[in-house]
Amino acid sequence: MKTILITGATSGIGLAAAQQCAASGHRLVLVGRNPRKLADAAAAVRAAGAGGVDTLECDFASQASVRQLAKSVLAQYDRLDVLANNAGGYHKDRVETVDGIETTFAVNHLGGFLLTELLTDLMVRSAPSRILFTSSVLHFGVTLDFDDLGLQRKYSGEQAYSRSKLANILYAKALARRLEGTGVTVNAFHPGAVATGIWDSLPWFGQPLVALAKRLFMITVEEGGQALTYLATDPEVGGVTGAYFQKNRIKIPSRRAQDDALGQQLCEVSATLVEPTG
């Protein structure tokens, strides 16, 4: 039985994957912002057959909340087999967090970065263990501008989201290099175009197209959740690290996502933004 922590676990592919992992008897640690939704998710995961279910609250737009989550995990668990960084969102308008950071970048990248840095020693002690990042095929075609990570000059919700997904892959690859030989694997994946509530934040004029896409082209949350479940539990990928997956297969990410120097710079900049050891 594995102990699997999933962030963003109250809906979408996070909840679907938690239920799928539960069906194999694993212990699930569900992380979310809303206590009521966490309680509902826990009930659904227990009903699916989990070997145990715990819930922890965290708002990934707050670094203090992420630090508190890490403290709770370290206090409650001697080992963690899987850390699935799945929490994320889309924001059509530019908003800053309580820490003064653009929200999409803060939630989709920095929150997972900070949590992972704070739990890395636990993951190493738990080896063989796995760290996962939910990314997206939308990382293609964008880069990181370290002079304007927060898109203050010209904000686009689509660009902010895509940049954050590129950051997920760059950090995963950099962390995989750093943890090579420890028994901890680190991978990122695209779950597919999933019909989840994340698209509800798109501008009004895009909603009819989204509704049509959900009916005709997008996959279900259960299908998207299987991508996370596969990387979290399947023995076939137990030794794979530093990879980007689509449809349960290793794929070559964008050219920029393969730029090790860019990934290292991202890690250094991210560290200054969260000061994970402070």
CA pair distance 51, 28, nearest whole angstrom: 8
Peptide bond into 128 cis (omega under 30): yes
- Spot the catalytic one: 77, 90, 161, 171: 161
Give the H/E segment covering residue 45. helix 35-47
CA pair distance 215, 212, nearest whole angstrom: 5
Strand partners, 131: 83, 186
At residue 245, φ and ψ (nearest 5 deg) are -110, 145
CA pair distance 28, 26, nearest whole angstrom: 6
CA pair distance 143, 116, nearest whole angstrom: 23
Q: How far is CA 219 from CA 14, 17, 245, in A?
A: 14, 14, 16
Q: How many CA atoms lie within 13 A of 263 on its CB side?
A: 21
Q: How many CA atoms lie within 13 A of 201 on its CB side?
A: 15
SS3 content of the chain, % helix, strand, coil (to 5): 50, 15, 35
At residue 20, φ and ψ (nearest 5 deg) are -65, -45
161 is catalytic: yes
At residue 29, φ and ψ (nearest 5 deg) are -115, 110
At 42, list the tokens: 């826990």
Strand partners, 243: 187
Q: Which residues are catalytic?
A: 161
